[in-house]
Amino acid sequence: MPRRAATRKGPRIVLPDEWPYAEVARLDPEGRGDVCAELVPGVPVRLSPRIVRLTAPNPGMMTGPGTNSYFVGDPLADRWVLVDPGPADPVHLQALQQHAPGTVVKVLVTHTHVDHSPGAVAASAAFGAPVFGRRPAYPQGQDGTFAPERELVDGERLAIGPGTTLRVIHTPGHASNHLCYLLEEEQTLLTGDHVMQGSTVVINPPDGDMAAYLTALAALLEVDLAWLAPGHGFLVAKPHAVLRGLIQHRLRREAKVRAALETLRDAALDELLPRVYDDVPAGLHPVARRSLLAHLLKLKHDGAAAEEDQRWRMT
Ligand SMILES: [Zn+2]
């Protein structure tokens, strides 16, 4: 069923295959038509009693509509955490301060890529709240200002208030230190960049790891989930179907890598690239090249491929 929604240019109809659809349906079941079908920087969106989203003004090729910062909290206890303060941008910091739904007691980060964590330093100072997350295994090109009070561990449960608990789930793959946060009371997973709406997650070795990424995606199939709240994009429904789709997408690409290796027998990365990514515009091949390397390293990890003098073959 198409749904009515609002945009900055006026009302519009949102169809079931469009990204905002699930969120519009959830926030506006009666069809008032007042839920926004755009991610507008600086405008807070109350997604549930416990979740408020505020998108940073950093749209771009790698960030889509911009990085989502989330306030997650216990409205009765007036205790909130800020997840992913975003880039170090004074405009976004001001918006975070202006729209914080209550007292912020912690700043959490999903990972330390520069669109997610550099805002933590100023947000921590502004809210008087300590920062938590994990340090990257390969810090090159990442947020060098990140200094957590303590490193979070997989399975840890953070009690924000009596009725709000965040479970820490270590999800390496996009980044070695990537964490998702599960709001247990609402079965909503803050996915950071482990799952992004509408674009393929970049797996850039060595900090990115395809084998770890697929293992972490599969592990989430064992978790009770109702919604995903991604670092880029709207709320996502049917989490397990989405996760299975992501795994299948990667395995289909891996099958193309295997087929290309079998055809060429012995090939350099740049010989494999146009065959494996023949469906991807050439302009994106520099990014795809990193993913190709990630696939090859996974095949090596699985014992299926070997590398010698920067040439790859099946074993
Ligand atoms: Zn990101």
**Least confident segment among 124-128, 212-216, 283-287:** 283-287
Q: Which amino acid is at 207?
A: D
Q: Are 174 and 207 in contact (CB under 8 A)?
A: no
- Around ion ligand 1, residues with a beta carbon closer than 5 Å are 115, 193, 231
Question: Predicted confidence band at 49 (pLDDT cuts at 50, 70, 90)?
Answer: very high
State the pLDDT at residue 62. Answer: 83
State the pLDDT at residue 265. Answer: 92
State the pLDDT at residue 200. Answer: 85
pLDDT tens figures, 174-183: 999 999 999 9
Provide the 3-class DSSP secondary structure of residue 70. strand
Rounded to the nearest whole angstrom, what is the distance from the C-alpha of residue 122 to the centroid of ligand 1? Answer: 19
- Distance in angstroms (rounded) separating the CA atoms of residues 6 and 32: 10
DSSP H/E element including 164 = strand 164-170
In this structure, the number of other CB atoms found within 10 A of the CB of residue 44 comes to: 18
Rounded to the nearest whole angstrom, what is the distance from the C-alpha of residue 49 to the centroid of ligand 1? Answer: 25
State the pLDDT at residue 91. Answer: 98
Rounded to the nearest whole angstrom, what is the distance from the C-alpha of residue 232 to the centroid of ligand 1? Answer: 7
Q: Are 39 and 63 in contact (CB under 8 A)?
A: no
Question: Predicted confidence band at 310 (pLDDT cuts at 50, 70, 90)?
Answer: very high
Rounded to the nearest whole angstrom, what is the distance from the C-alpha of residue 223 to the centroid of ligand 1? Answer: 23
Rounded to the nearest whole angstrom, what is the distance from the C-alpha of residue 263 to the centroid of ligand 1? Answer: 36
Rounded to the nearest whole angstrom, what is the distance from the C-alpha of residue 194 to the centroid of ligand 1? Answer: 9
State the pLDDT at residue 75. Answer: 85
Backbone φ, ψ for residue 275 (5° rounding): -75, -45
Question: Predicted confidence band at 268 (pLDDT cuts at 50, 70, 90)?
Answer: very high
Q: Give the CA-trace dihedral at 315, 212, 205, 268, to 10 degrees.
A: 20
State the pLDDT at residue 229. Answer: 98
Any bridge partners for residue 169, and if so which? 180
- Distance in angstroms (rounded) separating the CA atoms of residues 221 and 200: 19
**Mean of the pLDDT values across residues 254-279?**
96
pLDDT tens figures, 118-177: 999 999 999 999 999 999 999 999 999 999 999 999 999 999 999 999 999 999 999 999
Q: Residue 270 has which token pair?
A: 């740049």
Rounded to the nearest whole angstrom, what is the distance from the C-alpha of residue 235 to the centroid of ligand 1? Answer: 15
- Distance in angstroms (rounded) separating the CA atoms of residues 301 and 213: 13
Question: Predicted confidence band at 59 (pLDDT cuts at 50, 70, 90)?
Answer: very high
pLDDT tens figures, 86-110: 999 999 999 999 999 999 999 999 9
Q: Which residues contact 222 (CB under 8 A, 6 or more apart)?
A: none
Rounded to the nearest whole angstrom, what is the distance from the C-alpha of residue 111 to the centroid of ligand 1? Answer: 9
DSSP letter (8 states) at residue 184 = G
Rounded to the nearest whole angstrom, what is the distance from the C-alpha of residue 78 to the centroid of ligand 1? Answer: 28
